[in-house]
Amino acid sequence: MDPTHYTLEIDSILLDFGRRRLLSDIYIKCGQGQITTLIGRNGSGKSCLMQIIMGELNPLSKSVRINHKSIQAAHPAINYLPQSHFVPGHLRVMDVFADHQISEADFEADFPDLTTIIQQRFNKLSGGLKRLVEVYALIKSAAAFSLLDEPFTQIMPVHMEKIKPLIKAQKHKGFLITDHLYRDVLEIADTSYLLQNGKTWPVKSLEDLQSRGYIPQL
């Protein structure tokens, strides 16, 4: 195997909240150069699963492995876009890009309509632009894997259509993405899973989502 090619695998998760078992039968495999998507209803445990991978939430048991080697806590090869904003408000957008070693010129080329925001402080941006800056920083970051929890939330369609090919273009990275915009995530996914009743189910098509009741029959 190419030693520079990483595989992230997650299984053997048991997560309880009180008497409720939230996660019990999980298997997710995510390779570098691949986009893996996780779809599921509100409250099915998608964010919890990402927090477990990041070592931010401790379940009863877990196995998170990079190239078959178990990792227990936050790993430098993995970064994470949570649902809430992670950028400190006082930073300028240019500082956020510098922190992630991202070229301002690349951003200006990708989003010529947004060149003026580079000088602005993060807390002065609209919600959608805050999300866009954070998503862009993680997409372009050098981490081997980026976990993106609802990257498309608040982002307007014209920018979303630019983000999807940017994600696909990062062939050196692996992505694990969850979002309720299932058509958009399925469009870019190499592999998809539905999280339902604590278990991951492979998804190949919209019909799989229909047959498991995630979307209505057409």
Ligand X SMILES: Nc1ncnc2c1ncn2[C@@H]1O[C@H](COP(=O)(O)OP(=O)(O)OP(=O)(O)O)[C@@H](O)[C@H]1O
Name which of 48 and 78 has its Cβ closer to ligand X.
48
CA distance from start to end of the chain = 43
Per CB under 6 A, which of residues 188..207 are in contact with ligand X? none
Q: Could you tell me how many residues of this chain bind ligand X (CB under 6 A)?
A: 10
Mask for 107-146, x = binds ligand X (CB under 6 A): ----------------------------------------
Name which of 47 and 170 has its Cβ closer to ligand X.
47
148 bridge partner residues: 81, 177
Q: Which of 87, 81, 100 is nearest to 151 (CA)?
A: 81
Name which of 84 and 217 has its Cβ closer to ligand X.
84
Applying CB under 6 A, among 17, 60, 187, 210 the residue interacting with ligand X is: 17
Please name the residue that has the structure tokens 């992505």. 175
Applying CB under 6 A, among 22, 39, 78, 155 the residue interacting with ligand X is: 22
Name which of 78 and 117 has its Cβ closer to ligand X.
78
Name the minimum Å distance from CB 46 to ligand X: 4
SS3 198: coil
Q: How far is Cα of residue 22 from the mean position of the Cα atoms in its chain?
A: 20
Name the minimum Å distance from CB 16 to ligand X: 9
Contacts of 128 (CB under 8 A, 6+ apart): 154, 155, 156, 159
Distance in angstroms (rounded) separating the CA atoms of residues 137 and 9? 24
Name the minimum Å distance from CB 68 to ligand X: 27
Name which of 43 and 216 has its Cβ closer to ligand X.
43
Taking phi over 0 as left and psi of -120 to 50 as alpha, with beta for the rest, 45 belongs to left
Helices of type H across 1-145: 46-53, 93-99, 104-110, 127-140
Name the minimum Å distance from CB 151 to ligand X: 13
Give the alpha-carbon dihedral of 210, 213, 217, 218, to 10 degrees.
-60
Name which of 32 and 192 has its Cβ closer to ligand X.
192
Contact 171, 33 (CB under 8 A): yes
Name the minimum Å distance from CB 196 to ligand X: 10
Per CB under 6 A, which of residues 34..93 are in contact with ligand X? 40, 42-48
Name the minimum Å distance from CB 161 to ligand X: 23
Contact residues toward ligand X (CB under 6 A) are: 17, 22, 40, 42-48
